[in-house]
Structure formats: C-alpha cells, structure tokens
Amino acid sequence: MLRFDIITCLPHLLDGPFNYSIIHRAREKGLLEVNVHDLREFGVGKHQQIDDYAYGGGAGMVIMVEPIDNCLSKLQEEQTYDEVIYMSPDGEPFTQKVANELSLKQNLCILCGHYKGVDERVRENLITREISIGDYVLSGGELGAAVMVDAIGRLIPGVLSDETSALTDSFQDDLIAPPVYTRPANYNDWPVPEVLLSGHEKKIDQWRQEQSVQRTKERRPGLLG
C-alpha cells in the first residue's frame, strides 16, 4: 500500500487524473491512496494569503514558507514520509528508474509549486527531494504530480494484471517495447508481420527481442550501455 499526499493551491486540477482506469482500480483495491490537500486552507491572515511579491522585485508571485510549513507539519503529525518531494523544473529528472524506486515506498508527499515557485527556504529546509518531469516549464506542479502518481502507481505489485505486466513495457530493461498488433491480420493491405501469426512462441519472442533492440538503437541509443 502506497500513500500519496499532494499539497497544491489548485486542488481541482487533480479532480480527474486519479479517477479512471488503472489508477482508479488501484485505489479501489486499497493498493494506492491519493489525498489532495488545499494549501489555501493553511494560508495566513484573514485572507488566507499563500503568496507574496518576490524580495528584490521582478515579475511573479512566490509561495510563502509559512502555509507550506503549517500544512506539512500538520500532515507529519500523522505520517512519516519516506520522501517529501518538491516538483521543480530544475530537479532530478523523473525516469522509469526513479518510478521503480518510489513504487517501493509507503508514504510520499508531493509539493506542487505555482507562479514563480516557492520561497527557497522551503527547498532548503522542508523537503527531501526535487523532481522534474522534463526540461520545460509548466504553470504548476500538479500535472507533474499526476504524471508521477500514474507512473509509480501502476508499478505497485497487484495493480497490473499479468496481461498488462509492467515488465514488458519500455525502459523496464533499458529497451523500448516492440511494436504490437491486433485483429484484423490484414487491414487495407497493411499486413501484420507473419511471425506473429505463426503460433511459434520461441520465434515470436526472438522477433520481439530483435525489434526492441532495433528500436532502441534508432530511438533511444543512449539506453544501450
């Protein structure tokens, strides 16, 4: 059982992603728990303020330390986190390897930034890890958090059935997955490779392996050590 607590100032952005398909089923089965916490509830003053202008000037608001500290402290009264992760474009790149590693944890907290990001003192003192989902800038960490929960959630033992096993997916063995086909065997004069119709298990495995290696060479040569 893996529990995620996600801290965000836009909880409704996360209304959809965890309520369908594999991730939804994982939650139903009790293998995955996802809780979304509204940072605004921890805002300061009568306006429940969560952001302010940047010291030194410049465009864009910065999320303040205090609401984040208050929210985290409250959560940490009941949870001990394996990691408190800040979503950040300059963080460690999120890869299948990181997903595998995090799928073995029990309690993960994800902090989503917004605007110009969070006060640097949050990053220095309150979190344990910083993760980026790619070299581009999003308007908030929520979509990144959804990407991580999805990629990690489907790796939890019992979430995927045998026929959708994560072991045959791309990156799992530093190879890209081979191409897949389904009925009909010929559509529009676009035939399915003969070997897949042969019923010859060994030849099929061999073909898939060759395709994987070839694709990896073409598309992700960096994976081949």
Binding site residues, ligand SAH, CB under 6 A:
87-90, 112-114, 116-117, 132-134, 136-138, 140-141, 144
Q: What is residue 74's three-state secondary structure?
A: helix
Question: How far apart are CB 180 and ligand SAH at their closest, in Å?
Answer: 30
Name which of 134 and 193 has its Cβ closer to ligand SAH.
134
Give min distance, CB of 151 to ligand SAH, in A: 13
In this chain, which residue has its C-beta nearest to ligand SAH?
113
Burial (CB count <10 Å: 0-12, 13-18, 19+), residue 117: buried
Residue 130: CB minimum distance to ligand SAH, A: 9
Closest to ligand SAH by CB, 97 vs 200, is 97
Which of 132, 212 has the CB closer to ligand SAH?
132
Contact assessment for residue 146 and residue 17, using Cβ atoms and an 8 Å cutoff: yes
| Nearer to ligand SAH (CB atom), residue 18 or residue 86 | 86
> Of 67 and 141, which has the nearer Cβ to ligand SAH?
141
- Reading the block at residue 49, the tokens are 């303020």
Query: How far, rounded to the nearest angstrom, does the alpha carbon of residue 66 sit from its chain's CA centroid?
Result: 26
Q: How far is the CB of 133 from ligand SAH (least distance, A)?
A: 4
Place of tokens 């030849």: 203
Contacts of 121 (CB under 8 A, 6+ apart): 65
DSSP for 132-171, written as a single string:
ESSSS--SBSHHHHHHHHHHHHTTSTTSS-GGG-GGGSTT
Secondary structure element (H or E) that encloses residue 124, with its range? helix 120-125
Minimum distance between the CB of residue 222 and ligand SAH, rounded to whole angstroms? 20
The residues near 145 (Cβ < 8 Å, ≥ 6 apart) are 6, 8, 14, 87, 110, 112
- Cβ closest to ligand SAH, residue 61 vs residue 223: 61
Rounded Cα distance between 22 and 32, Å, is: 11
Q: How far is the CB of 149 from ligand SAH (least distance, A)?
A: 13
